[in-house]
Amino acid sequence: MNRRLALVFALTAVAAALAGVVAARLVGGHGGVPLVSGTWLPSRRPVAEFHLEDLSGQGFTLQNLRGHPTLLFFGFTHCPDVCPITLATLAQAQRTVPLPGAQVVFISIDPQRDSAANMSEYLSAFSKDFIGARGDEAALGPLLKSLGAIAERERLPDGNYTLDHSATLYLLDGQARLAAVFSPPFKTADLTADLRRIATDASL
């Protein structure tokens, strides 16, 4: 083996070792509570101020996310698969292991079609406790950017449109800071196990 090839192998081994350390810290580094379907952030991250409306027409801001843990998800009522599957999984997990004091918030990224009435009917099919919020693109922008989420309109051949969006589930702590993220595909058993573990974290 020549020296250059040996150096490449050595650097690859070091990189792999460092990646393993980082991954271990992310997965189980927050209070030592491992997550099956989620990842703890190395440190909790503040969320930007935003101004939306809830389904009764009242203001919905960062203040509404303070004082309790929040499981937040972006979606739209015309979503054919990811949104209903995620909401159904969340509803089942919450029924099995209610996270003390937690709220589930569904934020529409489709203000053109998602009226308050449509959203209320849609969410009630999953859980009467789910909270809905909506706003125009300008109002949604700061929150989407703060969480690193995307929402992009895609035109369909028939003239209608759909939306490509982040399918991530965001866990915020009682100070409205991003604490963990959960990535699809979501499995009820895994998410339920994670909620059970998270319930033991008094810092949320």
Taking only the tens place, the pLDDT of each residue in 106-156 is 999 999 999 999 999 999 999 999 999 999 999 999 999 999 999 999 999
Distance CA 204, CA 52 (A): 24
Residue 32: pLDDT band by 50, 70, 90 thresholds?
low
Residue 159: pLDDT band by 50, 70, 90 thresholds?
confident
pTM: 0.82
**Side-by-side strand order, sheet with 169-172:** 38-46, 177-182, 169-172, 70-75, 103-108, 131-134, 51-54, 59-61
Where is pLDDT greater, at 9 or 195?
Answer: 195
pLDDT for 42 beyond 80: yes
Distance CA 19, CA 13 (A): 10
Which contiguous run of DSSP H or E holds residue 136?
Answer: none
Answer yes or no: are the C-beta atoms of 159 and 165 closer than 8 Å. no
